[in-house]
Chains A and B, each alone.
Chain A
Amino acid sequence: MTAISTLPTEPRGKRPTRTFAPATIMIYGILLVAALYYILPLYVMIVTSLKGMPEIRLGNIFSTPVEITFQPWSTAWTSACTGLYCEGLKVGFWNSVKIMIPSVIVSILIASVNGYALANWRFKGSEIFFSILLFGAFIPYQVMLYPLVIITRELGIFGTLTGIIVIHTIFGMPILTLLFRNYFASLPTELFKAARVDGAGFWRIFFQIMVPLSAPIFVVAVIMQVTGIWNDFLFGVIFAGSKNVPMTVQLNNIVNSTQGVKEYNVNMAATILTGAVPLLVYFFSGKYFVRGIAAGAVKG
């Protein structure tokens, strides 16, 4: 039998961690490069938007502004020109708000009830119904555009606010229903059974038992819809009509207008303004957003 060594150099207590292990350096190096790759364009946009046109013409796109000016920002917001009109981006901003808020509310209301019904009130053919709905998520939008233009025209809502809201609600349905169905399916079914024994019906179980438990998934759905609808360009340009063009479409019109000199600083400011809403949503709710993606990925 060998005696146990009790020398002070023997391992004892917490295992020491190496601060600069090669693997650590590699990981941080790659992360740093990736971060720079994404942050640099944003940096260029911000510094350019704060410069005057003479300074931009010098051509040093990475240099910080010598003379900071907020003029491009106010121009972009109030008086940038899109073809004939020079009323700035604010028109598009408010249009986007008018499109987004009802679309988000209506689509989430319908999808949550859909998901609840599909998860808890299985009816004959509910699985097939769900599969068809999911299949809709994989059909390219372009295929459906022309039929939808005709349908909305026949309904008399083509080129109206109602039209674009209906379109957003329809296209949000597959993924949102999947999201809600999977969430409700993950809640214990015994809860649902207990409520039924207690005599609660379809709507009472939904509003009094299920919805109060579903705050996380509603937050995820709101984030997905807000960013999705705000970033939409295609549907806005086709269905919203010239009076209701969303911010993205207006931004395109400002940046691509061919008259006069290109005001790079105004274009940069306008772009940042348009991207600000989803950017802020991501900043404040990154955790929920990731959770939403994970929840949507699991097919129950």
Chain B
Amino acid sequence: MIIVNSVSIKDLSVSFGSVSVLKDLNIEVADGEFLVLLGPSGCGKSTLLNCIAGLLDISEGQIFIKGKNVTWEEPKDRGIGMVFQSYALYPQMTVEKNLSFGLRVAGLAKAEIQQRIANAADILQLEPLLQRKPAALSGGQRQRVAIGRALVRDVDVFLFDEPLSNLDAKLRSELRVEIKRLHHKLANTMIYVTHDQIEALTLADRIAVMKGGLIQQLDEPLTIYNKPRNLFVASFIGSPAMNFLRGKLTEIDGAFSFTAADLTVSLAKYETQEKLTNERDVIFGFRPEHIAITDKPGQKGLSCEAVVDLDEPMGADSLVWLKVAGKPISVRVDSGRRYMPGEKVFLSFNPAMASLFDATTEERI
């Protein structure tokens, strides 16, 4: 039996004139999967979504939805529903008319339209709003209507183009939960574009981190977080950001260590993907929470001395800035203890949770 994926993108390229936006992209999205396209602005994530929706002509490659080649199909024939950042509700129509517009265009029977609207309104709690115009709705309500408009079309694939970016922080986290709940309930395939890594990490089954029209890494959220494939992914994911130290690999009796200035960290517990070599220039990356501050020196080879530079309390925890090997690094600690600038402390590293990158290729070692 051949498993038919929900959305397959094969060798997709898009270029505007001489500017290449997407290059030879391949993605397979499983049925019912929640895929997040994550990247900084200009990385091509929205372009990719518009290609899947059929709103943008592609230059090369093929797009399949539910096993059907839709490369040349009109958006309406692709079995997709789309939710936009600016909601894109038709301002002159009531919520009900907004929801039913696509169905009326498709020429559905009135009873069927009523049925579907009632269903969507029930799922998204839109009943009290049906007769209102978009101008009389709050941002969160508007976005729910926009989701409803995709919902009534009874499609296989939902496309979200930064749907929460126009909302304030509180509403954003509320709607994020609502979207996740909706996905569990409907079990549709969803492709979601965002530049917000928290949204990506919380919602996704898999995340595709994009940069410069290429997918840098396509993996489950925790894999992306813990084992970033290159320096870009490592620095893009995580807030506060990962610490990086430039240095060299040194071999002593077959055991490798990372050295930078006066710092030496044993890499015995680090899972390497390739054979390490002596004197190789590398970048050592570790997340602020994967390092501990202690009052006494820890295990030899995994500990060093440092001086506190700054202390940033953030409520649940604090971010402490210190100088290690002449470079500022941040450490996430429990907010119970405050650190004073100039205070001498000891750091203890956890190489199992660290990342090592080649200094020139910036790829994970």
Contact = CB atoms under 8 A, between A and B. Distances in A.
A200 B92 contact: no
Interface residues of B, number: 25
Q: Is the interface of A mostly helix, strand, loop or mixed?
A: helix
A187 to B, nearest CB: 10
B149 A198 contact: yes
Nearest to B161: A190
B149 A194 contact: yes
A213 B55 contact: no
Interface stretch (B83-91, B284-292, B327-335): B83-91
Contacts of B102: 197-200
Given A188-B86, A188-B88, A209-B90, A197 B76 contact: yes
A204 interface: yes
B105 interface: yes
B56 to A, nearest CB: 9
Contacts of A208: 101
Interface string A120-149: 000000000000000000000000000000
A151 interface: no
Contact of B101 (A190, A193, A198, A212): A198
A195 B74 CA distance: 12
B92 A194 contact: no
A234 interface: no
B65 interface: no
A199 B80 contact: no
A208 B50 CA distance: 23
Contacts of A197: 53, 55, 75-76, 80-82, 102
B106 interface: yes
A220 to B, nearest CB: 19
A197 B82 CA distance: 7
B157 to A, nearest CB: 11
B106 A190 contact: no
A145 B242 CA distance: 72
B84 A194 contact: yes
B76 A199 contact: yes
Nearest to A198: B102
Interface in A163-193: 188, 190-191, 193
Contact of B84 (A190, A209, A212): A190
Interface in A194-222: 194-200, 204, 208-209, 212-213
A204 B105 contact: yes
A281 B90 CA distance: 31
B55 A198 contact: no
B55 A196 contact: yes
Interface string B55-86: 10000000000000000001110001110111
Contacts of B85: 190
B91 A213 contact: yes
Contacts of A199: 74-76, 102, 105-106
Nearest to B77: A199
Nearest to B159: A197
Contact of B86 (A190, A196, A209, A212): A190
Interface string B159-193: 00100000000000000000000000000000000
Interface string B87-101: 111111000000001
B320 to A, nearest CB: 36
A213 B90 CA distance: 9
A194 B102 CA distance: 9
A196 B84 contact: no
Nearest to B152: A198
Given A190-B85, A196-B55, A197-B75, A212 B92 contact: yes
Nearest to B82: A197
Contact of A196 (B75, B89, B91): B75
A194 B88 contact: yes
The 9 A-B pairs at the shortest CB distance, nearest first, are namely A199-B76, A198-B102, A190-B88, A194-B88, A190-B84, A212-B92, A199-B105, A197-B75, A197-B82
18 contacts: A190-B87, A190-B88, A191-B88, A191-B90, A193-B50, A194-B149, A195-B101, A196-B55, A196-B75, A196-B76, A197-B53, A197-B75, A197-B76, A197-B80, A197-B81, A199-B75, A200-B101, A208-B101
Given A194-B82, A204-B105, 7 more contacts: A190-B87, A190-B88, A193-B53, A193-B88, A197-B81, A198-B101, A199-B106
